[in-house]
Amino acid sequence: MPAQNQVSGGLTVFEFAWPWLALLLPLPLLVRHYLPAYQMQQQSALKVPFIDDIAAAETNSQFVARSRLWSLAVLAWLLLVLAAMRPQWLGEPIEQAMSGRDIMLAVDLSGSMQERDFMLNKQPVDRLTAAKAVASEFIDRRVGDRLGLILFGTQAYLQTPLTF
């Protein structure tokens, strides 16, 4: 079911990832047709002689309310099935520059990083703060490179995988 549009010089395509889910659209009608309706049995606890007049007045308003509820249920089912079909706008692929380097930064988070033995802006700072400042300057200069972050202390773990 792809539909093509010409948008700003590039080809854009609208399609569904799972178009076969459209087969679910008649499911509520099939369920209603093949499953019997639930019948509640009620007995009146109070006998009212003019109940037929009240029932006639309520019939019209109940019909309007039921038709609105039915319309809302149909709309909800249509939107649910359409969302499940995963509609997508697909454009032309974006080329990414692959000329950069892959760099993993490993940062120590152990207790020794709390020592205040570095100076930053003529202020004594702990080792972790100094490492963050140096890493921040380094990262700002890395254009086109993929960077990742590994943190370690007692155990190492990947905080951020390689990413642009």
pLDDT on residue 5: 45
Residue 116 DSSP SS3: coil
Between residues 31 and 66, the one the model is more confident about: 31
Amino acid at 100: G
For 122-131, the pLDDT digits (tens) are 889 999 999 9
CA 32 vs. chain centroid, Å, equals 32
pTM above 0.75, yes or no: no
Model pLDDT, residue 82: 95
Determine the number of helices (DSSP H) and then strands (DSSP E) in the chain: 3, 8
Q: Kindly list the domain boundaries of the chain, sorted by start residue.
A: 3-36+55-90, 102-163
What confidence tens digit (pLDDT) does each residue in 42-96 have? 666 667 666 666 666 666 677 777 888 889 999 999 999 999 999 998 888 777 6
Residue pLDDT, tens place only, 132-158: 999 999 999 988 888 999 999 889 989
Whether the per-residue pLDDT at 113 is higher than 90: the answer is no
Q: Which helix (H) or strand (E) holds 123?
A: strand 123-125
Contact by Cβ (8 Å): 104, 150: yes
SS3 55: helix
pLDDT at 100: 80
Task: Look at 35-44, 108-117, 131-140 and tell me which has the smallest mean pLDDT.
Answer: 35-44
pLDDT at 44: 63
What is the distance between the alpha carbons of residues 67 and 58, in angstroms, rounded to a whole number?
14
Q: Is residue 7 pLDDT above 70, yes or no?
A: no
CB neighbours of 85 closer than 8 A, spacing ≥ 6?
Answer: 16, 17, 18, 19, 21, 22
Are 128 and 136 spatial neighbours (Cβ–Cβ below 8 Å)? no
